[in-house]
Amino acid sequence: MKPNFTFNLLRQIARGFCTKPPQIKPKRMEGKTALIAGAATGIGEATARLFAAHGARVVVADVQEAAGERVAAELGNGAEFIRLDVRNEDEMAAAVDRAAAVAAGNVLDVFHYNAGILGAMGPINELRMEEFDHTMSVNLRGAVLGIKHAARVMKPANKGSIVFTGSVASVHGGLGPHCYSISKSAMVGLVRSTAVELRRFGIRVNMVSPDSVATSVLGRALEALEITADSSLGSAERYVESISLLRGHALGVFDVAHAVMFLACEESGYVSGQNLVVDCGNTVSKANDTAPWFTQTLGFIS
């Protein structure tokens, strides 16, 4: 007796489960070209170093020229530096065009938007709108300009991966200042909306949202809030270690960089429109008390 339809269907499903998993390359970014906006320090620098170690040709883009040139020089593998003020559309377009020009076939494989500032801190009733505008111009306007021009060069190639650096402040109140939280929450909408448009061109759009990670921006904020005695990276690292939710592991820049690389390469080939939270369950496990970000009258952190 011939197998019936149900049996055939179950057999096909079983075969699907038994197929060999895709082989993971030792160098997961081999042959790819990546443009990283905000790559001179912190998470962006770590991502640039990780991408390069995995074979990518990286274009380091940042407004910090000395630091950016140093990083590019240390990466090797044809890495370049280009000065980029993410608020300026002409500079963003030029950075994207340059990154595509150095690639084989004039194709930009990965665009990672990591530029950002903490911005205005203090109570909402004392917010100065020029500080709000500046925070939005870097964190959100720059992100929109980045995806606008990355999509421009990726669409003809029908492929590409775009990854934004977000924050746990995008999913939970009290984990960042008001303006910063607004910008990162809006970024979630940007990711979701553009992911729907760009999927028909083979382009994926995602974001990575880390908890507190030791960077120079966090260091300056901790000093301003009088949580640490100074703004050094060492003080920030000790603070992050003190609040770590995972025994024996403080969140570091390379933890975030590895999450970015996962979304940038083929291992996440069907993942798009997602906000990958890197916080050891912080945003799903507890309520947050009123935070000093907006209870103390402070200045502007950039």
Smallest CA-to-CA distance from 260 within 22, 41, 43 is with 43
Distances (CA, A) of 89 to 86, 118, 145: 7, 22, 6
Q: Does residue 155 sit within a domain? A: yes
pLDDT of residue 27: 86
Are 242 and 113 in a shared domain?
Answer: no
What sign has the CA pseudo-torsion 277, 280, 284, 290?
negative
Cα 77 vs. chain centroid, distance in angstroms?
22
Distances (CA, A) of 165 to 125, 188, 206, 280: 28, 10, 9, 17
pLDDT of residue 274: 98
Cα 163 vs. chain centroid, distance in angstroms?
5
Count the domains in the chain. 2
Q: Does residue 200 sit within a domain? A: yes
> Could you identify the residue written with the tokens 């590895």?
258
DSSP 22: P
Are 222 and 207 in a shared domain?
Answer: no
Are 201 and 222 in a shared domain?
Answer: no
pLDDT tens, position by position, 203-233: 999 999 999 898 888 888 888 888 888 888 8
Interatomic CA distance for residues 80 and 68, integer angstroms: 9
**Which positions ≥6 away from 6 have C-beta within 8 Å?**
none
- Catalytically active residues are 180
Reported as half-sphere exposure (CB side, CA atoms, 13 A), residue 111 has a value of 30
Residue 242 structural domain = 214-250
pLDDT tens, position by position, 62-102: 999 999 999 999 998 899 999 999 999 999 999 999 999 98
Q: Does residue 195 sit within a domain? A: yes
Interatomic CA distance for residues 279 and 38, integer angstroms: 22
Smallest CA-to-CA distance from 46 within 95, 96, 126, 114 is with 114
User: Which residue positions in the chain have pLDDT lower than 50?
Assistant: 1
DSSP 178: H
Are 121 and 238 in a shared domain?
Answer: no
